[in-house]
Amino acid sequence: MVLTPLPDSRTEPDGSAVVRVLSYNIRSMRDDPEALARVIAACTPDLVFIQEAPRFFRWRKRAAWLAARTDLVVLGGGATAAGPLLLCSLRATVERTEDVLLPLTPGLHRRGLATSVVRIAGTRIGLVSFHLSLQREERLAQAGAVLERMDEMGVEHAVAAGDLNDVPSGAAFDRLSGRLQDCWTVRPWGGGHTYPASRPDRRIDAVFATPGIEVLGCGVPAGLPGVGDADLRTATDHLPVLAALRVPALKP
* Model pLDDT, residue 18: 98
Whole-model pTM?
0.97
Pairing of strands 157-163, 123-131: parallel
Residue 1 has pLDDT above 70, yes or no: no
Distance CA 37, CA 130 (A): 21
Residue 128 has pLDDT above 80, yes or no: yes
Distance CA 172, CA 132 (A): 9
Distance CA 236, CA 21 (A): 18
By the 10 Å C-beta count (0-12 exposed, 13-18 middle, 19+ buried), 161 is classed as buried
The type of residue at 131 is H
DSSP state, residue 20: E
* Model pLDDT, residue 191: 93
Beta-bridged to residue 116, according to DSSP, are 97, 127
* Model pLDDT, residue 251: 77
Beta-bridged to residue 21, according to DSSP, are 47, 243
* Model pLDDT, residue 248: 95
> For the segment 186-235, what is each residue's pLDDT rounded down to a tens digit?
999 999 999 999 999 999 999 999 999 999 999 999 889 999 899 999 99
Calculate mean pLDDT across residues 137-165: 98
> For the segment 39-81, what is each residue's pLDDT rounded down to a tens digit?
999 999 999 999 999 999 899 999 999 999 999 999 999 999 9
* Model pLDDT, residue 223: 86
Cβ partners under 8 Å of residue 9, min gap 6: 17, 18, 19, 20, 44, 46, 89, 91
> For the segment 81-124, what is each residue's pLDDT rounded down to a tens digit?
999 999 999 999 999 999 999 999 998 999 999 999 999 999 99
Domains of the chain: 15-247 (3.60.10.10)
Phi, psi of 205 (to 5 degrees): -120, 140
* Model pLDDT, residue 80: 97
Distances (CA, A) of 141 to 90, 111, 132, 134, 176: 34, 12, 9, 12, 11
Distances (CA, A) of 76 to 30, 90, 97, 186, 219: 21, 14, 6, 28, 24
DSSP assignment of 180-191:
SEEHHHHSB-SB
Distance CA 159, CA 180 (A): 9
Which pLDDT band holds residue 2 (cuts at 50, 70, 90)? low
Phi, psi of 144 (to 5 degrees): -65, -35
3-state secondary structure 43-73: CCCCEEEEECCCCCCCHHHHHHHHHHHCCCE
Which pLDDT band holds residue 175 (cuts at 50, 70, 90)? very high
Residue 34 has pLDDT above 70, yes or no: yes
* Residue 116 CA from chain centroid, whole number: 12
